[in-house]
A and B are shown apart, each in its own frame.
Chain A
Amino acid sequence: MTAASPRQGLRRTYGSYGGRFVAETLHAALDELENAFLDVVPTPAFQATLGKLLATYVGRPTPLFRAERLEKALDPNATVLARLYLKREDLAHTGAHKINNALAQVLLAKHMGKTRIIAETGAGQHGVATATACALLGLPCEIFMGEEDVARQAPNVGRMRLLGAKVHPVSSGSRTLKDAMNEALRDWVTNVATTHYCVGSAAGPHPYPELVARFQAVVGEESRAQLHAETGALPDAALACVGGGSNAIGLFRGFMQDASVALYGVEAAGEGIDTARHAATLNRGRAGVLHGAKSYVLCDAGGQIQEAHSVSAGLDYPGVGPEHAHLRDSKRATYLTATDAEALAETRRVARTEGLIVALETAHAFAKIGEVAEREAKLRGRAVTIVMCCSGRGDKDLETTLAALRAVEGE
């Protein structure tokens, strides 16, 4: 590394949120990662390699699909919803947007000379994406996953193992994503010289929130261009589900500067935001510090982090990326919630109206299309166009969705 000359680093804070709240041991590695991002990612060589992989391996650009039957199902006379477009991240290789970030990070880690990759995963989509990137680029991969998630997302555990990754079930705490991240951080602090920690959401200590957002911005940039090509205009609203918030921030990045585009995130309300069992961090949490960043967290009055709950393992997290905290406070984005029951019902509706079996995470966003259309149509006095990130496919959730289906329709 050449002597540090003054230059613009990656964005460190979002309003009063973000920052780098980690033990001293990790600071040098986080600086190294930020410098590598600034030095390597803009180079033509890196851009060419990543661009070719995104096109020929991931399948980018992913399509923008107009969901006309769902439009009619939601609003038969098009009084509030004029057009609904789905950004088909479920069609990306490995079945979700997670591969955009994982592939770019692992490629960057290889440029940095790292010889081992670790990652946390909730639903397993980020774990599968990281295992895939490591298989493709020839690096050993170890994934930390809560025991509860190992049980409810068995197909993804199998995929990671088939891809050659070692999966470490985490038995501490709530045995979900939060605890998987704790274990990944403990591994990283121990093996920091050789290992890159491939964080899966736009969360964690600086520079991860900005780095992940940059790698996911392709979702929003493509959506903007595709929608413009199709309609000649911007959408009225952009909508995505929010756990840590990486698919949402990726979509939002395409429209952040367009004041006319309303941004909507949907959090998991679990069994209801007035119960103790939800993951609605931005709606029911408070400012706090978890996993290296200041953001909203679910914690008690004594500052102990609380267990989140969602039927969707990918949204089951008591924190959220710091940029979302700022977008919430500044009112640039609006964060709604959908319950477990709403998400499960929505998976059936989307499957039967559009032939899409979507992830439970994604179903939370689908469940709020009608509400977003009503809110925006009322504000604008006309039916609106919505673009929604269809962030992932639902094969991994079949056991859960089929159990819910049996409860409703019998065997």
Chain B
Amino acid sequence: MPSATSTPGERISRVFSERSESGGAALVTYLCAGFPDVASSVAHALACVAAGADVLEIGVPFSDPTADGAAIARASQFAIAGGSGLESALEVARRVRAASEVPIVLFGYYNPIFVRGDAATARAAADAGVDALLVVDLPPEEDSPLRDAAHALGLGLVPLVAPTSTEARLAGLAARAPKPPFVYSVSVAGVTGSAHADLGEASARAAHVRARIGAPCVVGFGIADAADATKAAAHADGVVVGTALVRIVDDAVREGLSIEAQAERVRTFVHDLAVAVHAPRSPQNSAPARTV
């Protein structure tokens, strides 16, 4: 159980500080819980950690994932058909937590949380060892019940910003206390897996968001490989890889690989990403020092 701290989700903040101090950025990986099943998701998640992922996003499959592209939408449908959902995502978190101290973000849509109840979900997430929640369709205007419940248990609530976010909306996020453990900056107006993100611009925007809000800022959407990750990491505190990883899992499942062989594919892919993201940045690119 996290102790009462000034920063909800403090385990996450520590990871960003450590990466920043070593001159690199943090790698955040997304997996859809229950794709293809819970045991595989746990193995994939632990493979991510072994390969150098700094933060895990455990995706809660939802029937109507309107912010996701085809790859994650299909994985979600597959997972739901196998009986997965919020409960399975919590089970994945619980099993990962039993084996690792890696920070865990529960990532999903609001209806499963709302139906379970904001307070009940926050309690179940805290009990499962989750550090923070990210709810795609729960903007600051609507998030008070869940945010209050999460903060009371030391859990963070991660806000999204987008290229279309106005300065006024950023100012609104900046004015909120306590600070979120990090901010997720969407690289492009689009859905997950978008192929046309300008990652250089997205990385620069992450630096602006960090300065504006006063919390670490990661870049996600459209980061497919180590080269993309390097570009996105230039000015950001972290990089999120989701769709590309889900595709690796998808291919491995289609080929009928064993769980161990699937995990090996994940490990290889994530290792290359981690090397790229953790590498100290050249001085003109490096993220400015940040106090937590």
Residues of A within 8 A of B (CB): 19-29, 31, 172-173, 178-179, 182, 185-186, 189-193, 286-292, 294, 297, 299, 301-305
Distance of A291 Cα from B166 Cα, bound (Å): 23
CA distance A191 to B86 in the complex (A): 31
B191-A190 in contact (CB<8A): yes
Q: Which of B77, B87, B116, B189 contacts A25 (CB 8 A)?
A: B189
B-side interface size class: 35 or more
Query: Does A304 lie within 8 Å of B164, measured CB to CB?
Result: no
* Contact yes or no, B137 A192, CB < 8 A: no
- Judge whether A23 and B162 touch: CB under 8 Å: yes
Contact of A23 among B85, B137, B142 (CB under 8 A): B137
Question: B160 at interface (Cβ–Cβ under 8 A)?
Answer: yes
- The reply on B212 being an interface residue by CB < 8 A is no
Whether the pair B67, A21 counts as a contact (CB closer than 8 A) is no
Q: Are A21 and B189 in contact (CB under 8 A)?
A: no
Q: Quick one: which of B89-141 are within 8 Å of A by CB?
A: 109-116, 136-139, 141
The answer to whether B136 and A28 touch across the interface, beta carbons within 8 angstroms, is no
Q: Is B161 an interface residue (CB 8 A)?
A: yes
Q: Contact partner of A20 among B139, B160, B163, CB < 8 A?
A: B139
Decide if B268 is an interface residue (CB 8 Å cutoff): no
Q: How far is the CA of A23 from the CA of B167 in the complex (A)?
A: 17
Q: A186-B191, A190-B191, A302-B116 are in contact. List 14 more A-B contacts (CB 8 A).
A: A20-B139, A20-B141, A23-B67, A23-B137, A27-B162, A28-B166, A173-B63, A287-B114, A290-B64, A292-B137, A294-B114, A303-B62, A303-B113, A305-B63
Nearest 5 A/B pairs, CB to CB: A303-B112, A303-B115, A25-B162, A302-B85, A24-B160
Is B270 in contact with chain A by the CB < 8 A criterion?
no
Nearest A residue to B116 by beta-carbon distance?
A303
Our pick among B64, B86, B189 for the contact of A291 (Cβ within 8 Å) is B64
Q: Looking at the complex, which one of B85, B136, B137 makes contact with A304 (CB distance below 8 Å)?
A: B85
Could you say which residues of chain B place their CB within 8 Å of the CB of A26?
A: 164
A28, B164: Cβ atoms closer than 8 Å: yes
CA distance A286 to B117 in the complex (A): 13
- The verdict on B17 contacting chain A, using a C-beta distance below 8 Å, is no
Query: How far, in whole Å, are A25 and B221 apart by their CA atoms in the complex?
Result: 12
Between A and B, 30 residue pairs with Cβ closer than 8 Å are A20-B139, A21-B137, A21-B138, A23-B139, A23-B162, A23-B186, A25-B162, A25-B163, A25-B186, A27-B162, A27-B165, A28-B164, A178-B64, A182-B64, A182-B66, A189-B191, A190-B190, A190-B191, A191-B189, A193-B164, A288-B115, A291-B64, A302-B85, A302-B116, A303-B62, A303-B86, A304-B62, A304-B63, A304-B111, A305-B63
Q: In the complex, what distance in Å separates the CA atom of A396 from the CA atom of B186?
A: 42
Q: Judge if B73 is at the interface, Cβ distance under 8 Å.
A: yes
Q: How far does the alpha carbon of A330 sit from the alpha carbon of B115 in the complex, in Å?
A: 21
Residues of B within 8 A of A186 (CB): 66-67, 69, 191
Counting CB contacts under 8 A, is B80 at the interface?
A: yes
B residues with a Cβ closer than 8 A to A are 62-67, 69, 73, 77, 80, 85-87, 109-116, 136-139, 141-142, 159-166, 169, 186, 189-191, 194
Q: Given the known A-B contacts A186-B69, A190-B194, A303-B112, are A25 and B142 also in contact in the complex, defined by CB atoms under 8 Å?
A: no
Contact A24 B64 (CB under 8 A): no
Report A-chain residues with C-beta under 8 Å of the C-beta of B189. Answer: 25, 189-193
B139 → chain A closest CB, angstroms: 6
A203 shortest CB reach to chain B, Å: 13
Chain A residue nearest in CB terms to B73: A172
Residues of A within 8 A of B65 (CB): 182
B111 engages A305 (CB within 8 Å): yes
Interface centre among A179, A193, A286, A289 (most CB of B within 10 A): A289
* Alpha-carbon distance between A219 and B194 when the two chains are bound, in angstroms: 42
Which chain A residue shows the least CB distance to B184?
A: A24
CA distance A303 to B163 in the complex (A): 30
- The distance from the CB of B158 to the nearest CB of chain A, in whole angstroms, is 11
Residue in chain B with minimal CB distance to A292: B137
Alpha-carbon distance between A288 and B137 when the two chains are bound, in angstroms: 13
A305 to B137, CA, bound (A): 15
**Residue on B with the closest CB to A286?**
B115
Closest B-chain residue to A185, C-beta based? Answer: B66
Residues of chain B within 8 A of A305, CB atoms compared = 63-64, 111
Q: Which residues of A contact B190 (CB under 8 A)?
A: 25, 189-190
CB distance from B161 to the nearest CB of A (A): 6
Rounded to whole Å, the gap between the CB of A169 and the closest CB of chain B is 15
Q: How far is the CB of A321 from chain B (nearest CB, A)?
A: 17
Tell me the minimal C-beta distance from A92 to chain B in angstroms.
Answer: 31
In the complex, A107→B80 CA distance in Å? 41
A24 and B139: CB pair below 8 A?
yes
Provide the residues of chain B in CB contact with A21, threshold 8 Å: 110, 137-139, 142
Pick the most buried of A29, A189, A289, A302: most chain B CB atoms within 10 A of its CB.
Answer: A302
| Contact status of A288 and B114, CB under 8 A, knowing A21-B142, A186-B69, A303-B86 | yes
B residues less than 8 Å from A191 (CB atoms): 189
Contact B164 A297 (CB under 8 A): no
CB proximity of B219 to chain A, nearest CB, Å: 14
Residues of B within 8 A of A192 (CB): 164, 189
For B113, list chain A residues within 8 Å (CB).
303
| Contact partner, A303, options B111, B137, B169, Cβ 8 Å | B111
Chain A residues with CB under 8 Å of B63's CB are 173, 299, 304-305
CB distance from B206 to the nearest CB of A (A): 14
Whether A304 and B112, one on each chain, are in contact in the complex, defined by CB atoms closer than 8 angstroms, is: yes
Chain A neighbourhood of B114, CB < 8 A: 287-289, 294, 303
Contacts of B77 in A (CB 8 A): 172-173
Q: How far is the CB of A183 from chain B (nearest CB, A)?
A: 9
**Cα A217 to Cα B113 with chains together (Å):** 35
In whole angstroms, what is the CA distance A27 to B186 when docked?
13
Min CB gap A297→B, angstroms: 7
What residues of A have a CB within 8 angstroms of the CB of B160 in the complex? 23-24
Q: Which residues of A contact B165 (CB under 8 A)?
A: 24, 27-28
Known contacts A23-B66, A172-B77, A289-B137; A297/B111 CB under 8 A: yes
